[in-house]
Amino acid sequence: MHKYFKKMDVFGKTLKDKMKERTRDNAEEMTAAEKEIGALKEKIREFGLPGEKINSRGMLTIWQRLEILVDEGTWNPLHTLYNPADNDDCTTNVVDGLARINGRWAVVIGFDNKYLAGAWVPGQPENILRVTDLAKRLNVPLIWVVHCSGAKLPEQEKFYPGRRGSGTPFFRHAELEQMGIPVLAGIYGTNPAGGGYQSISPTVLFAHKDCNIAVGGAGIVSGMSPKGHFDVDSAQELIDAAKKHQSAPPGTVDIHADETGFFRYVFEKEEDVLHAMREYMTKLPAYDPEFFRVDDPKPPAYPAEDLYHLLPMNPKRTYVLEEILARLMDGSEHMEFRPDYGPEMYCGLVKVNGMLFGCIGNRQGVLPKGYPEYADYQGIGGKLYRQGLIKMNEFVSLCGRDRLPIIWFQDTSGIDVGNIAEKAELLGLGQSLIYSIQQTEVPMMLVTLRKGSAAAHYVLGGPTANRHNAFTLGTAATEIYVMHGETAAVATYTRRLIKDQKDGKPLDPTVDKMNELVETYHQKSRPQFCAKTGLVDEIVDLKALRGYLEAFASATYQNPKSICPQHQLVLPRIIRG
Amino acid sequence: MAEEIKSPMAGKVISILVSVGDTVEEDDDIMLLEAMKMETTVFSSADGTVTEIKVQPGDKVDEDQTVIIVE
């Protein structure tokens, strides 16, 4: 099959100096927006006790632990700004990402021991569920760095119980294990109650000598008050009991290594736990990447810095999608599927790290004359029409047949509307695409380059493709909303305006409300908002996108659940004819 | 030999990115047009020197209307 994959078509052009000069403002605006988001991420990273304080207690911080655990340069963080419960004192108090450990890819998550010794907080279970889902979707090991003091008790009602509460990750760990996906845990510090289950539910436990895990910690073992209320005498009893139990908390290594044997390995030094986990990764299932490669890995032919000139921050400004893809894909090479059909969508085969992927993205700008073919109006990129929907249905189905993971690039304003569009069956074809995606059973990732809007946001492989979408990335130019704020204001208030006028009332108050709604839409569609509420899994700098593509490529091909032999792939033959 | 650069669509000229006397190459961006609420770049279809600019910012143009001449 080398004739297909070693001689793919080339796309993209060298960015001319004149074009760079003309788009310098855009590059600066994009960089400034990324810097602002980066500063927010750094603030979250530094949140809690200073690292020196943690170190003075003889412990490493979560970040120091990850630095030892993860292969240099392979940390691709996710959910950094995720804070669905809108906590004002922290985000979700866990740190997670996709990373390589001693040559093997894994989903990695750890408690931030700089805040409340790694406590459960509101919003955290939603974050952990995303992480367990990611391991499940990519079929790669889940690696925990456990240091969990249990629930933040004053707010327990917000996360402790419920269908998606803090207990569900333990069920998910069991699910992963039943699917043959190992869960490793390095365990540090005091882990009572929920922290105990965080520690016991993984597959193999690597313990630091000073850690403990227990059904209940010193706090409740010493704190049962039989009186039904507290007084000074019972307070003194508590002080005495707590002193005793804190010096000898339940569930230490003496119990869980020597007696129960729950801890498979115990280590003197914190660093040794992590080195042992790294070593253990080589025992876990993984194909050699060569098994799946269709070509030698190579970087894109054009620099990632060009992306800052090519992707406009101005959402009204069009661009050439292929020029973006040429800065992300191996050798800037591709094989386009049905280039003469459905011009609003790009569908094609691309390589990342030498492995084959389906790639789908919205083209921008005015479409060729006579398109869409069913209407007397001109088509515009970013919108979906009949042919584009049919083409995506075909391409996605064939990717499923060929077991090719799909990388989506979304920048869409919606699906064509009106009776002409209805007659052209767009409603049914959109849902057909969702059906096609659902039946592929291949992992997908999405980059929301700019806009995710209207029903088109649902049909383009995003988070709504629940079990298939591994993760969704946004950029500093991302905006996600059901419709533009001005459109929403018109839809919401036009009837009110008519009524106001009929009743002889001034229009100003309603006009003010319309402008307020526009502003609200703006604020609630920004990249920071999308990341905080989980509409995307991470906002990523344009120059870092390729790293995430490589991580997805390597992880998804590390141990796939099904295989199509290269010489039995049908898509490349359909494309070449 | 003169080459007529034509508007690929009907729309409104937002800005002209070249001046008379400028040297342009094929695929250089020469004009920004607004059409269907989007701003679209018009690219030169030839190498040469800009000898005439037939529109101004704010002008409405038709599809296939000549906007710039390059020699």
Among B31, B34, B41, pick the best mutation site for testing chain A contact (most A Cβ within 10 A).
B41
Band the pLDDT of A13: cuts 50, 70, 90: very high
Q: What is the pLDDT of residues A280-331, one digit of tens each?
A: 999 999 999 999 999 999 999 999 999 999 999 999 999 999 999 999 999 9
Indicate the fold that domain B3-70 takes in CATH: OB fold (Dihydrolipoamide Acetyltransferase, E2P) (2.40.50)
Q: Give the pLDDT confidence score for residue A246 in this predicted structure.
A: 67
- Whether A454 and A447 have beta carbons less than 8 Å apart is answered as no
Q: Which residues pair with A384 in a beta bridge?
A: A415
Nearest CA in chain A to B63: A369
* Range list of β-strands (E), A455-532: 469-474, 479-481
How far apart are the CA of A318 and the nearest CA of chain B, in angstroms? Answer: 5
- Interface residue A380 vs chain B (CB under 8 A): yes
* pLDDT for A222 beyond 70: no
How far apart are the CA of B41 and the nearest CA of chain A, in angstroms? Answer: 7
Do A16 and B28 make contact, defined as CB atoms within 8 angstroms?
yes
- Interface residue A423 vs chain B (CB under 8 A): no
Which residues, at least 6 apart from A559, have a Cβ–Cβ distance to it below 8 Å?
A139, A140, A285, A286, A287
Give the nearest partner residue to B9 out of A19, A314, A378, using CB atoms.
A378
- Whether A465 and A531 have beta carbons less than 8 Å apart is answered as no
Q: What angle do CA A70, A76, A80 make, to 5 degrees?
A: 110
* Range list of β-strands (E), A302-401: 333-336, 345-352, 355-362, 383-384
Which residues, at least 6 apart from A255, have a Cβ–Cβ distance to it below 8 Å?
none
- Interface residue A22 vs chain B (CB under 8 A): yes
Do B38 and A365 make contact, defined as CB atoms within 8 angstroms?
yes
Of A330, A337, A395, nearest to A554 by C-alpha is A330
Give the nearest partner residue to B17 out of A22, A378, A380, using CB atoms.
A22
Do B38 and A13 make contact, defined as CB atoms within 8 angstroms?
no
Band the pLDDT of A360: cuts 50, 70, 90: very high
Of A137, A45, A142, nearest to A101 by C-alpha is A142
Q: Could you tell me what percent of chain A has a pLDDT over 90?
A: 90
Do A366 and B8 make contact, defined as CB atoms within 8 angstroms?
yes
Band the pLDDT of A14: cuts 50, 70, 90: very high
How far apart are the CA of B22 and the nearest CA of chain A, in angstroms? Answer: 12
Give the nearest partner residue to B39 out of A19, A22, A318, using CB atoms.
A318
Partners of residue B28 in chain A, C-beta under 8 Å: 16, 18-19
Half-sphere exposure of A279 (CA within 13 A, CB side): 8
**Whole-prediction pTM:** 0.94
Partners of residue A365 in chain B, C-beta under 8 Å: 38, 40-41
Partners of residue A314 in chain B, C-beta under 8 Å: 39
Residue A297's SS3 state is coil
Nearest CA in chain B to A13: B27
Q: Could you tell me what percent of chain A has a pLDDT over 70?
A: 98
How far apart are the CA of A316 and the nearest CA of chain B, in angstroms? Answer: 5
* Range list of β-strands (E), A319-366: 333-336, 345-352, 355-362
Nearest CA in chain A to B31: A22
What is the rounded average pLDDT for all residues in chain A? 95
Locate A29 and state its tokens. Answer: 């605006």
Q: Which residues pair with A124 in a beta bridge?
A: none
Partners of residue B25 in chain A, C-beta under 8 Å: 16
Partners of residue A18 in chain B, C-beta under 8 Å: 28-29
Do A316 and B39 make contact, defined as CB atoms within 8 angstroms?
yes
Do A314 and B25 make contact, defined as CB atoms within 8 angstroms?
no
Do B35 and A366 make contact, defined as CB atoms within 8 angstroms?
yes
- Region for residue A103 given its phi and psi (left: phi exceeds 0; alpha: psi -120 to 50; beta: otherwise): left
Could you tell me which residue, A576 or A243, shows the higher pLDDT? A576
Domain extents for chain B? 3-70
Q: What is the pLDDT of residues A49-78, one digit of tens each?
A: 999 999 999 999 999 999 999 999 999 999
Among A318, A371, A385, A490, pick the best mutation site for testing chain B contact (most B Cβ within 10 A).
A318
How far apart are the CA of B26 and the nearest CA of chain A, in angstroms? Answer: 11
Q: Give the pLDDT confidence score for residue A245 in this predicted structure.
A: 66
Do A316 and B38 make contact, defined as CB atoms within 8 angstroms?
yes
Q: What is the pLDDT of residues A402-422, one digit of tens each?
A: 999 999 999 999 999 999 999
- The complex's ipTM? 0.82
Q: Which residues pair with A358 in a beta bridge?
A: A349, A406
Rounded mean pLDDT of A239-265? 86
Q: Give the pLDDT confidence score for residue A225 in this predicted structure.
A: 60
Q: Give the pLDDT confidence score for residue A223 in this predicted structure.
A: 60
Q: What is the pLDDT of residues A125-166, one digit of tens each?
A: 999 999 999 999 999 999 999 999 999 999 999 999 999 999
Partners of residue A316 in chain B, C-beta under 8 Å: 34, 37-39
- Interface residue A299 vs chain B (CB under 8 A): no
Residue A58's SS3 state is coil
Partners of residue B18 in chain A, C-beta under 8 Å: none
Q: How far is CA A464 from the centre of its chain?
A: 13
Nearest CA in chain A to B22: A18
Give the strand order in the sheet containing B11-16.
B38-43, B29-35, B11-16, B60-61
How far apart are the CA of B68 and the nearest CA of chain A, in angstroms? Answer: 18
Amino acid in position A419: N
* C-alpha distances in Å from residue A459, one per residue of A65, A388, A396, A463: 39, 12, 11, 10
Band the pLDDT of A221: cuts 50, 70, 90: low
Q: Give the pLDDT confidence score for residue A465 in this predicted structure.
A: 85
Locate A314 and state its tokens. Answer: 């101005």
